[in-house]
Structure formats: C-alpha cells, structure tokens
Amino acid sequence: MGNLNDGVKSRTYDAIVIGSGMSGGWAAKELCEKGLKTLVLERGRDVVHLKDYPTTNMQPWEFEHRGQIPEAIQEANPVVSRCYAFREDAMQFFVKDTEHPYVQDKPFDWIRGYQVGGKSLLWARQTQRWSDFDYEGPARDGFSVDWPIRYKDISPWYSYVEKFAGISGNKDGLDVLPDGEFLPALELSCVENYFKDFIAKNYKDRHVIYARCAHLTEPKQIHLDQGRGQCQNRNLCQRGCPFGGYFAANSTTIPWALKTGNMTLRPFSVVHSIIYDEKKGKASGVRVVDANSKEVIDYYARIIFVNAAAINTNLILLNSKSNRFPNGLGNDSGILGKYFAFHNYRGHISAEYEGFMDSTTAGGRPTSAYIPRFRNVHKQETDFLRGYAAGFYSGRFSFPKAEGFGTTLKDNLAKKDPGPWRVGSHMMGETIPKETNFLSLDSNKKDEWGVPLIKFSVDYDENDNKMVKDFSDQLTEMYTKAGFTNIKTNDSNQAPGLDIHEMGGARMGKDPKTSMLNKWNQMHACENVFVTDGACMTSTSTQNPSLTYMALTARACDYAVNQMKKNEL
C-alpha cells in the first residue's frame, strides 16, 4: 500500500499520535518533550493559533446573520444545530452533518470538530477532578468493571496538567470533588453567592461552588512561556482566543510540541486503521488516506497513541482488522465498541429571584457556579444508581420589546428594564455503561475515504429516567427553600450525545477478558498501542471528563517512554 517509491524510512517515527485535539495535543507535547520523533496525524485542516481565528475580534453587527445560523444551514444540519455553541461566530470549527454522515440505529447527536485542536477550541472549559467516589464507583455499586486505577494514581497527573493548562478555582475542601492546582477564581454573582450561603446553611451534604475552569485568571511564568496571557472575560472563547486566555491545544500543547523540533504535524490525514504485524506481535504503524488526494500512505512507529476522540477511536480500532484480530485491534474479548456511555443532560430548571434588584450584572465571566454530586455519594439512598452534578447560573436579562412603529418603537427599544434575576441549572448525570449500548461499523456504507461509517446503538435506560426526575425534585426543593419563584422544570428528552462527553468502548480494566486496556491505557493484547481519549473510560462519573483525559494521557506517555527506554516496548 501507499507510495512505494517513498522510502519506508522517511515514513518511520518513534511515535505516532492519531488526533491533535484535547488529548492528542497532550500526547504530542509529552512524547516530543521526552525526545521522541512524533508524527501527529490529523484528519482536518491546520488551525494555527491567532492566524486562523477569523471571527475572534468581530463585533456583533459585523456578522452577516448577527451571530445566528441561517435557517437553510440549520435544516440541512439538524444534529450540529442542536449544539448551543454552533453559532455563526464558531461555525467554521464544527463538523456539519452533511459533510460527515453517520448511521443512527438509535438517535445520537454526534458533535465533532475536525481540525487541529479538535473540540478543544470549542469546549466550555469546565475542569473538575474526579474523586475516589468515581474510581471506586463501579466496584462499590456493581456495574461496569473495576477501574484499574484509583484517585491516588492519577492525582499527581491532575496536578501536572493543571499547572500547565491553567485552571482557576477555589480550594473547596470537598471529598467528592478534590481540589487542584488552582489559579484564583473569579467572583460569583450576588445571587449565586446568596444561593451558595443558603445551601451551606441548610444542607450539610450539598454545596454550591465556583466551577473550576481552564482560564488564566492570573498567568504564571509557564503560561507566559507558552505565549498566553490573562483571560479578558470576553466570553467569546469558541471563536479561538487571541490572548490564549483559555486552554486549547492550538494555543498550548501543539505549539509547545512544535517548539521541541520533534513533532511532524500532518493535517488532512484520515487515519483508516492501525497496521498489525503478526510476526512481531505488535502494531507496526498507521494507514492514512490523504483527505484531499485520497492517496493511501502507511506510516510506522514503535508506539501509537490513539486520540481521535472516543467515537472515532472506536471506529479506527474496529476497522483495524487482521488475521490475528478479525474483530478489531486488541479485541480478543469482543467488548470493543460496547459499554459505551455518556452524560445525561436532559434535566433543566429555571426560576426567578426577587432580591438584589439594585444589582444588575453577573459580570462577563467565562464560567458559572457548580453543584457537585450529592446523591448516593456515601451510601445508596435512592432507587437509581449513582448521581448527578448541576450547573448554577444567574443573570438579569430581558430583551427590549421590539413593538410599535416610529417613536413608540424607539421608546420601547430604549427602555432598560432587565426584569428580576433569573437563575437556572442543568443536570450532568452519570450513565451506566452497558453491553447493549454499543458502537459498530456499518457493513455497507463507507465514507469518501473508504472508511466504514460508524453506527450508534445507544440509548437512555430506566436509571437515567429516574435520575432526571430526582434532579427535578431535588433542585425544585432547593430552589423553593431558597425563595426562588416561578420555578419551571423541563426534561428536554434530547437524544444522547449533546453532552459531548462520549466515553467507553475500549475501557480500562484489570482483566483482559472484560476490558481492552490495562492501568496504563495500554492495550492488553497489543502492547505498543495506547488509548487515552474518552474511549478508555470505564465509567462516566458526573464531572466533565476532559481534564481526566489529559491527566491519563500524560501519565500513559510517561509510562510508555519509560518502557521504551527499558526496551520493554
């Protein structure tokens, strides 16, 4: 395969990283820093920090549709249009449904960013650590399989990635949400502070805190060395930040890896599969289809990191078939693609608060408040397993009435009555990985690069439904007690996927019969392949997962390079 005239040597590296987003960026940085000549394969185009953020300094009136997505685009792309961040200012960083179709046995809203930086350009930057209530969860509550690691194994790696990425937060001292290496937190609004104090006084097991987020509130030397500066609270993050105020691979890990001189970044490289060498009993490289020319090229390396984001990682592994692995690379157990899970974001609540009428602004913060999980933490107390966290936000915003003509219209538009404070929360529920929630390859349909389409058979279950109801009940109680009025709850009944926290399919575990990866994210059955994106996750917790992918990636890179030095890999 490939261009046979092009020497194998020139296509051979120490390491290959598949995907250049949140986790792939970390793999690139770590491996390059440790001296490995590393090829980073990215299916999309390059997005160079600063240069490729065309909308970053645009004013609202400079957008043709004032920030909205035109109806024709929405109709043609119903899935991505359901994502709150798919707006005119960031449209260029999202995959449109029409560009990359997939198969939905059951509805799944798959939100993607195919470019250097992946979805790290677009994320909401919420970065909560997981705790032992998460790592011990499956063993304690009897679902999935036992994680092969505990909090103590990953805690130093959380610290490691937090210091480099820059995370703002308070030391809250909560066992359910361990503290990290924080830059100063921003302030909560008066209503958020009121609710925080109220909950602290009235519930001993519930807390409202400042949500930890990947923003440079007070850059340290390491951030200045990255060429990044203080977050300006512009709240235009999804456009790409000219200050590097938030963590994105484009501003942070990718340029850092480039600076080492060890990284070769190859955009427009669609990874088709991983090549398995039967004689060596290892993966020898990666098969790529050039996105533009469609040329098939093989690249070789001693180790391979798979970081294509959970779903595409499952796809690549399922498509990596050989005599040894007819059902996908490393898939002796037959579980590849199975036990796929996500976060349950269906529950919403909103209300009003009559107080603080002398204050009008919640500030332009890039984050809000956070209610860590409080259900079933220390013991099982409900008829569903696990629990949920919730956001908490507030603001006074009512839109001027665009009513009347002439002077009346002008007068109406000029009236500034922000109305009462409005508050709201959304749930972030843990879902239970199950064999019946799985990804597979469609046996007939392929994309234009000859790669089979992925098929989703993923759904909610009774546990999720009960959790939505409990969220509504508990939050209603907390809101009511706090004196909030006009409380409205809503089950969006949205399809899985909009949470954009896809996890599993190639889970970690102790036993090769029931898991794909060991405690170092290394494939049980093909030891020079590492998976450190969401595909590796054994369970889903309630916390946003990307910080954990970053920490697992840095930890696995450290292990892999040490093993290489010992000639064990």
| Residues engaged in binding ligand FAD (CB under 6 A) | 18-24, 41-44, 83, 85, 111, 113-115, 118-120, 122-126, 269-271, 307-309, 312, 316, 500, 533-534, 544-546, 549
Query: Minimal distance in Å, beta carbon 533 to ligand FAD?
Result: 3
Q: H or E element: which one contains 167?
A: strand 167-168
> Burial level of 259, CB count in 10 A (0-12/13-18/19+)?
middle
**Which amino acid belongs to residue 172?**
D
Q: Residue 330 — left, alpha, or beta (φ > 0 → left; ψ -120 to 50 → alpha)? A: left
| CA dist., res. 566 & res. 8, Å (int) | 25
Asked whether the beta carbons of 28 and 257 are under 8 A apart, the reply is yes
Query: Minimal distance in Å, beta carbon 568 to ligand FAD?
Result: 26
Nearer to ligand FAD, 376 or 532 (CB): 532
Write the secondary structure of 300-349 as one string of H (helix), E (strand) and C (coil): EEEEEEECCCHHHHHHHHHCCCCCCCCCCCCCCCCCCCEEEECEECCEEE
Distance of CA 325 to the CA centre of its chain: 29
Nearer to ligand FAD, 241 or 309 (CB): 309
The helix, strand and coil proportions of the chain, stated in percent and rounded to the nearest 5, come to 25, 20, 50
Query: Helix count (H) and strand count (E) of the chain?
Result: 13, 21
| CA dist., res. 494 & res. 108, Å (int) | 9
Query: Minimal distance in Å, beta carbon 126 to ligand FAD?
Result: 3
Distances (CA, A) of 222 to 161, 166, 256, 271: 12, 9, 11, 33
| CA dist., res. 552 & res. 82, Å (int) | 30
Nearer to ligand FAD, 114 or 384 (CB): 114
Nearer to ligand FAD, 339 or 549 (CB): 549
Query: Minimal distance in Å, beta carbon 159 to ligand FAD?
Result: 17
Query: Minimal distance in Å, beta carbon 513 to ligand FAD?
Result: 26
Query: Minimal distance in Å, beta carbon 165 to ligand FAD?
Result: 11
Nearer to ligand FAD, 475 or 500 (CB): 500
Query: Minimal distance in Å, beta carbon 27 to ligand FAD?
Result: 9
Which structure tokens are listed for 75?
Answer: 């109709």
Chain residue at closest Cβ approach to ligand FAD: 21
Which structure tokens are listed for 175?
Answer: 């066992």
Asked whether the beta carbons of 83 and 111 are under 8 A apart, the reply is yes
Query: What phi and psi, each to the nearest 5 degrees, are found at residue 64?
Result: -55, -40
Query: Minimal distance in Å, beta carbon 98 to ligand FAD?
Result: 17
Nearer to ligand FAD, 153 or 290 (CB): 290
Nearer to ligand FAD, 440 or 484 (CB): 440
Nearer to ligand FAD, 167 or 385 (CB): 167
Query: Minimal distance in Å, beta carbon 366 to ligand FAD?
Result: 10
Nearer to ligand FAD, 111 or 199 (CB): 111
